[in-house]
Amino acid sequence: MATVTNVDKGKHAISRRVTVATDANTLFDIVADPHRHSQLDGSGTVKDNVKGPTRLGPGDKFSVGMKQFGVPYKITSTVTEFVDDAERKVLEWQHPMGHRWRWELVQTGPTSTEVTESFLYDTAKSPKILEVLGQTKANSKGITATLEKLSSKYS
């Protein structure tokens, strides 16, 4: 299994990175399709009931069924950044409470991609509440599990 490392992106950010043994286009196809997010999720909170496009783009909205603490709910997010270049791929979406999820992919070889997933809560309406409720610790574990799952799929 590949090693997941911490990435410092500032005070209100949780970021982890792993190198995955496949090309960036293959990975971006999964990340950019919200109907496949439950396949990526290592936290167990993302469910497969999704409304939205099968390929996200700038400004798109999508809704995903979630379940935390035994409580099901649906969250609608908006794509806030989308880059699909040969050198770099970025997909970021923002939840209604202001925090963002961000994926950055950089192809480092023909079959090697550096993948960074981040939970950014500097723009959250109540960053301190996220910390007090333990969401930041839970998201740290979830990101690590997601990246381990992703790297093992292509090892």
CATH number of the domain residue 79 falls in: 3.30.530.20
**31-76 pLDDT, tens digit each:** 999 999 988 999 988 988 899 999 999 999 999 999 988 899 899 9
What are the DSSP E strand ranges found in 21-144? 46-51, 61-68, 71-84, 89-94, 100-109, 112-120
Give the count of alpha carbons within 13 A of 59, CB side only.
Answer: 0
**What does the chain come to in residues?**
155
Residue 99, Cβ density class (10 Å: 0-12 exposed, 13-18 middle, ≥19 buried): buried
**102-123 pLDDT, tens digit each:** 999 999 999 999 999 999 999 9
Domain that holds residue 19: 5-153
What is d(CA 35, CA 14) in angstroms, rounded to the nearest whole number? 24
The domain total for the chain is 1
What pTM value is reported for the model?
Answer: 0.94
